[in-house]
Amino acid sequence: MSTATIVGREIHVNDEGFMTDHTEWTEDVARALAANIGIELTDAHWQVLRFVRQDYDAEGESPTLRRVANIGGVPTKQLFALFPKKPAKKMSYIAGVPKPVGCV
């Protein structure tokens, strides 16, 4: 298992850079991960990230884009605006949860 130093902390990550222990996540880590992929977090981003983390805790797997839109209440179009090109992958990456099944 690899580690990466993010905001001065050793974080366990996989080969793609996704965190492997979601309990190591903090908001500071999220800000750093977002900056790594060119995203500056706004209140709208935080709403989505909190839903992703809560859903992961409840369901044991990363939510799909459809689940975030339908249950999280954020329209798909807005998710693409907040997390361009690959929203499900980017949401999970920043939220510190595994990449959703089916994401490339």
- DSSP strand E in 1-104: where? 2-6, 9-13
Between the alpha carbon of residue 23 and those of residues 20, 96, 99, the distances in Å are: 9, 8, 15
29: number of CA atoms within 13 Å, CB side?
25
Separation of alpha carbons 51 and 43, rounded Å: 13
Among positive and negative, which fits the CA dihedral 71, 73, 78, 82?
negative
Look up 38 and say whether it is catalytic.
no
Q: Which of 19, 49, 74, 103 is catalytic?
A: 103
Residues that are catalytic: 103
